[in-house]
Amino acid sequence: MDNMDNGEWKNEWEELLQPPKKEKGFARGVATGIFGTLLVGFIGAVIFSTVMGNSSWARRPALLSDKVVNKLAELTELINYYFYEDPDEEKLAVGLYSGLLESLDDTYTEYYTPQQHQDLQIAATGNYYGIGTQLSQNRETMVVKIDHVYEGSPAEKAGLKNDDVVVMVEDMEAVSMELSDLVTHIRGEEGTTVHLQISREGEKNYLDFDVERANIDLPTVEHEMLDGGIGYIQILEFGAPTIGQFETAVKDLESQGMQAMILDVRGNPGGMVTAVTGILDDILPEGTVVYTQDKYGKRQTYTSDEEKQMHYPIAVLINSNSASASEILAGAIRDFEYGTLIGTKTFGKGIVQSIIPLEEGDAIKITTAKYFTPNGENIHGTGIAPDIELEFEYQGDTDEEYDFQKDNQVQKAIEVLEKEISEPK
């Protein structure tokens, strides 16, 4: 996947998580070209033009005292004089901006250059120019792995496979940079090619691929009808097209006689809050599905109405990499007592971020609020525990195509739902 954006300028984003080693063929991680973070669609309460129009901004912040400004000038002079090469002043400036936000010691707050900001905007549409793979990066080793090759994509046509390790992109070592930066080199103009060097299990030497970039429409929802009238829907992430894709999947399954539904958000790192609340509106009766609150006590509440709701049993599959928007979904279904959560405790990201654009095309992403489940729980750092705790165990050959019949968590969900279907109403 190579970046998405829904045209909204102030949205909540979250960092993608390292996916589990072997848990169904979920597509997870960062899609090639998607900018290392994914939308969580919170429309920021802070409106940039309003903030900048505030008279308090006319005063110099205490941080920019004469002492600090003079120190920066001194450091710049020392760099210019002593550094063994001529420094790039633009990079120095970006370093200052980035360092300022990094000093907040918040993983989700950071500075974006104009190019990075542009990538973020592309990342919400679900449509991009890339090669059609989803990547993840090990936080410790920085190793980049292909988690999913999309069907019919340039990557599939070129011969790339799931679990391939990306060694080089053009002349850049994959482990030398953050995934968010690496994917900007994999994306590119339609019809151009990108050279990848790949390490593949069972191959003694590295493999080289020249992959042509193309216009890619990424699915965020996959579905299948299982035996017994049980529909299975996997939500890969919560992006701009997710609500429509979810509703299409539900209609298809209902046309096949769906009597119960499995919602699989295992490995789903989150996305736009407007996407998850839209889906919850399709599922739940009238009420609050999630609300946010900033440090000033200001709340923003998201609700479902009574127009649409589902009246059949639901099971939700979760794991430690179900984060943010996935946790909003799980928390709302739990608090409404509208389904059974199965799997392992979720990641525990209960904060929201806003993207604030700046005058020169750059932007900052900054944590602006906490979010709370309908019953008022903030799950940041704690996560959501399942109703039925069950560690994942794939009972088949992991080298073969994924089979529902051998996924113990799916089978547990089927067992629970079959019992609910058979119980007299």
Q: Is 335 a catalytic residue?
A: yes
Measured CA to CA in angstroms, residue 369 lies from 23, 46, 293, 298, 351 at distances of: 32, 11, 5, 9, 6
Q: Is 153 a catalytic residue?
A: no
Q: Does residue 389 come out as left (phi exceeding 0), alpha (psi in the -120 to 50 range) or beta?
A: beta
Count of alpha carbons within 13 angstroms of residue 167, beta-carbon side: 10
Q: How many CB atoms lie within 10 A of CB 399?
A: 7
Nearest to 318 by CA among 13, 25, 23: 23
Residue from 10, 24, 349, 365 carrying the catalytic annotation: 349
Q: How many CB atoms lie within 10 A of CB 81?
A: 7
Residue from 304, 322, 324, 326 carrying the catalytic annotation: 324
Q: Strand pairing partners for 325?
A: none
Read off the tokens for 411.
């089978």
Residue from 164, 264, 281, 335 carrying the catalytic annotation: 335
Residue type, 418: E
The set of catalytic residues is: 324, 335, 349
